């Protein structure tokens, strides 16, 4: 917790937020210092309660409303809601819209590696008052492997478009397949998902989707040859949707829609690039923990 608090102070504006002392006004200098210390203690206490002893996130505690300043007790805990998580969230256009549409029905988590995008995402959450969306800055595989409790996530999303200047090239395919969606990621996602939990992958790159399908098919065959259940995914059938099969995995054409967990249509940063690049084709994989 100490390391996390230090990182938040250096990168995401926690220090000036704590200096405000929980909004205390009309106090003497000594009173302001006391209010700031009290705000810092409340924050640290709440943050510590959001993690297990081995450093995994307690979703229920993380999304619980905090006690108001001066309150004698914390508000009653909220209902237990499913957790949905997007990896590589960018500036958060898509995930913020989904979380807002899912308020009261699910809690959402946005994970992004790049610091500038994390800051932009956090600003979007705060200014939009999206209370059921948490922002995590860091590597997606490390998050799922080290900080997420087993079987605690209902749905994972990866929206993986590529900018038009890279679209469809050999270099872009090599870059994509060698970055996020690798066997360690699928293993970590399988571990984090609850039974029958789902994984939706959305992309504009058909060759990339085919490559992922072959990777998933190979992982399944490897587990079968080893005589173990393995951390495998099954392809979810969607009636009436156009698709093709690659190594037993369905690649659907078009947008996932509500069936794939997309509650509302929302343009992302790369959608706007797509429009200028005139790339209209979309593909997705809808997978279920097997």
Q: What is the pLDDT of residue 69?
A: 46
Confidence of residue 265 (pLDDT cuts 50, 70, 90): confident
286 Cβ neighbours under 8 A, 6+ residues apart = 198, 199, 200, 235, 236, 238, 250, 252, 256, 259, 260
10 Cβ neighbours under 8 A, 6+ residues apart = none
CA distances from 71 to 37, 66, 74, 75, 110 (A): 16, 10, 7, 9, 30
Tokens for 278, please give them: 């005139």
Give pLDDT tens digits for 63-94: 987 655 445 556 677 789 999 999 999 989 99
- Dist. CA 84–CA 95, nearest whole Å: 10
- Dist. CA 149–CA 78, nearest whole Å: 19
DSSP result, 37-50: HHHHHHHHHHHHHT
Q: What is the pLDDT of residue 88?
A: 92
pTM here? 0.86
Whether residue 233 contacts residue 190, with contact meaning beta carbons closer than 8 Å, is answered with: yes
Tokens for 274, please give them: 């797509």
Give pLDDT tens digits for 227-248: 665 678 999 999 999 999 999 9
Neighbour tally for 95: CB within 10 Å: 30
Strands (E), the chain: 83-87, 107-112, 133-137, 153-159, 193-203, 233-235, 243-246, 249-253, 283-289
DSSP letter assigned to residue 103: T
Whether residue 249 contacts residue 210, with contact meaning beta carbons closer than 8 Å, is answered with: no
Q: Tell me phi and psi for residue 255, to 5 degrees.
A: -90, 145
Confidence of residue 255 (pLDDT cuts 50, 70, 90): very high
Whether residue 14 contacts residue 5, with contact meaning beta carbons closer than 8 Å, is answered with: yes
pLDDT higher than 60, residue 177: no
Mean pLDDT, range 37-54, rounded to an integer:
88
- Dist. CA 94–CA 205, nearest whole Å: 19
* DSSP-H helix ranges across 75-128: 93-101, 115-128
């Amino acid at each position: 917790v100490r390391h996390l608090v230090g990182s938040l102070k250096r990168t995401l504006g926690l220090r000036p937020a704590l200096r405000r002392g929980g909004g205390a006004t009309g106090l003497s200098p000594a009173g302001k210092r006391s209010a700031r210390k009290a705000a810092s203690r409340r924050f640290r206490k709440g943050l510590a309660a959001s993690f297990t002893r081995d450093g995994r996130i307690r979703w229920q505690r993380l999304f619980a409303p905090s006690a108001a300043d001066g309150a004698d007790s914390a508000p009653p805990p909220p209902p237990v809601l499913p957790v949905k998580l997007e990896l590589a969230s960018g500036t958060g256009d898509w995930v913020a819209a989904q979380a807002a549409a899912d308020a009261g029905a699910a809690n959402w988590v946005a994970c992004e590696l790049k610091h500038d995008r994390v800051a932009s995402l956090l600003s979007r959450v705060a200014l939009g008052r999206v209370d059921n969306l948490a922002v995590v800055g860091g590597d997606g595989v490390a998050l799922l492997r080290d900080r997420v409790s087993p079987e605690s996530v209902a749905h994972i999303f990866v929206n993986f478009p590529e900018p038009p200047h890279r679209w469809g090239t050999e270099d872009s395919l090599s870059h994509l397949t060698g970055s996020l969606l690798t066997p360690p990621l699928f293993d970590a996602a399988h571990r984090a998902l609850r039974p029958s939990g789902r994984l939706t992958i959305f992309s504009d790159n058909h060759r990339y989707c085919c490559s992922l399908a072959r990777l998933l098919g190979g992982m399944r065959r490897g587990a079968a040859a080893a005589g173990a259940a393995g951390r495998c995914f099954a392809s979810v059938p969607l009636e009436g949707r156009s698709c093709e099969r690659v190594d037993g995995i369905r690649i659907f054409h078009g947008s996932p829609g509500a069936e794939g967990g997309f509650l509302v249509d929302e343009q992302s940063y790369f959608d706007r690039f797509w429009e200028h690049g005139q790339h209209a084709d979309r593909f997705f994989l809808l997978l279920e923990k097997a």
